[in-house]
Amino acid sequence: MNFILKRKEETNVSYEDIVHLIHKSFEDRLKQGLKFTCSFLTVEEYKKDTAKGTVFVALDKDTQELLGTATVNVKKDIYGVTYGYNEYVAIAPKAQRQGIASQLLKECEKIVKEAGAEYIFSDTAVEAKSSIQYHLKNGFKIIGLHSYPSTNYYSYFFRKQLVPSKKWNSNLYCKYAFLKSYIITKLTLRKDGHKTFLASLFKKKKKKESIIYGNSHS
Ligand SMILES: CC(C)(COP(=O)(O)OP(=O)(O)OC[C@H]1O[C@@H](n2cnc3c(N)ncnc32)[C@H](O)[C@@H]1OP(=O)(O)O)[C@@H](O)C(=O)NCCC(=O)NCCS
């Protein structure tokens, strides 16, 4: 399939078209029992969430049909480091496995590099195998586990380092970060994001465990 990538504003694609595509793309996840927020996303929520970001679309070169989308937002983590948050990655079922998401990611990377980002962050359900493979194939490393109250699954946190880093380019360090996060999350959060019994025993609010993470989820 021949496709071209553009920024949303360079096209006639509407927010409604994109949200429709996202719903279609996540249909199989819903059938799998995974309640991604993307499946229930409204146009208003999407507009608000992407207002400060850059939205890319993939169009069929011949028919201009919308085949895929991805958004990137430049943010700062809790250490003041600039990073790009990659979200709303959704490819039409008939256009999957043809390199579209990987190409969209490259466009997102260019934008965030220009903005001085040191890494790209993303997350997905631990059961979403194709999404996990897509992240690993494109150079992301799994560095954490989390659970959001708005979903019904544990999520992996992914980081793709754009600027060389002794820590984050080390597989060993990423494994350590993941293991630490895994243990804390499993002890303190249930799959639905609510606190475990053990966590509820501790009244003192702990500083957010995430290294980067903010309140992100797809
Ligand atoms: C996950 C998703 C974004 C991947 O998009 P895509 O355009 O199909 O991905 P690409 O063609 O760029 O694939 C890149 C790599 O990802 C992996 N991959 C993609 N789809 C896969 C699948 N169904 N099974 C196993 N691995 C898969 C492969 O390693 C692939 O490389 P390869 O084809 O050379 O082996 C797409 O399947 C999708 O939109 N799924 C539903 C919504 C979703 O899960 N979004 C992501 C949420 S974070």
What confidence score (pLDDT) does residue 138 get?
Answer: 98
Question: Quick one: CA torsion of 148, 154, 160, 161, rounded to 10 degrees?
Answer: 70
Q: Whose CA is nearest to atom 14 of ligand 1?
A: 134
What confidence score (pLDDT) does residue 202 get?
Answer: 75
Tell me the average confidence (pLDDT) per consecutive run of 10 residues in the chain, 218 residues long: 96 98 98 97 98 98 98 97 98 98 98 97 98 98 96 98 97 98 97 92 59 52
d(Cα 213, Cα 147) in Å, to the nearest integer? 12
In a domain, 64, yes or no: yes
What confidence score (pLDDT) does residue 201 get?
Answer: 82
Based on the structure, what is the number of domains in the chain?
A: 1
What confidence score (pLDDT) does residue 84 get?
Answer: 98
CATH code (residue 99): 3.40.630.30
Nearest partner of 73 among 56, 58, 98, 97, judged by Cα = 56
Q: Which atom of ligand 1 is nearest to the CA of 100?
A: 7
Question: Phi and psi (nearest 5°) for 172?
Answer: -65, -45
CA distances from 76 to 8, 112, 116, 121, 208 (A): 24, 12, 11, 11, 15
Ligand 1 centroid to residue 110 C-alpha, Å: 20
What confidence score (pLDDT) does residue 24 get?
Answer: 98
In a domain, 149, yes or no: yes
In a domain, 62, yes or no: yes
In a domain, 207, yes or no: no
135 with 108: CB under 8 angstroms?
A: no
Report the residue among 40, 66, 134 best suited for mutation to probe ligand 1: largest number of ligand atoms under 8 A from its CB: 134
Instruction: Name the residue range of residue 14's domain.
Output: 3-201
Q: Which atom of ligand 1 is nearest to the CA of 123?
A: 48
What confidence score (pLDDT) does residue 218 get?
Answer: 56
Q: Which atom of ligand 1 is nearest to the CA of 36?
A: 47
Helix (H) or strand (E) holding 82: strand 82-91
Report the residue among 130, 136, 151, 153 best suited for mutation to probe ligand 1: largest number of ligand atoms under 8 A from its CB: 130
What confidence score (pLDDT) does residue 118 get?
Answer: 98
Q: Which residues line ligand 1 (CB under 6 A)?
A: 25-26, 29, 89-91, 96-102, 124, 128, 130-131, 133-134, 137, 218
What confidence score (pLDDT) does residue 91 get?
Answer: 98
Hey, is 148 helix, strand or coil? coil
Location of structure tokens 């690993």? 136
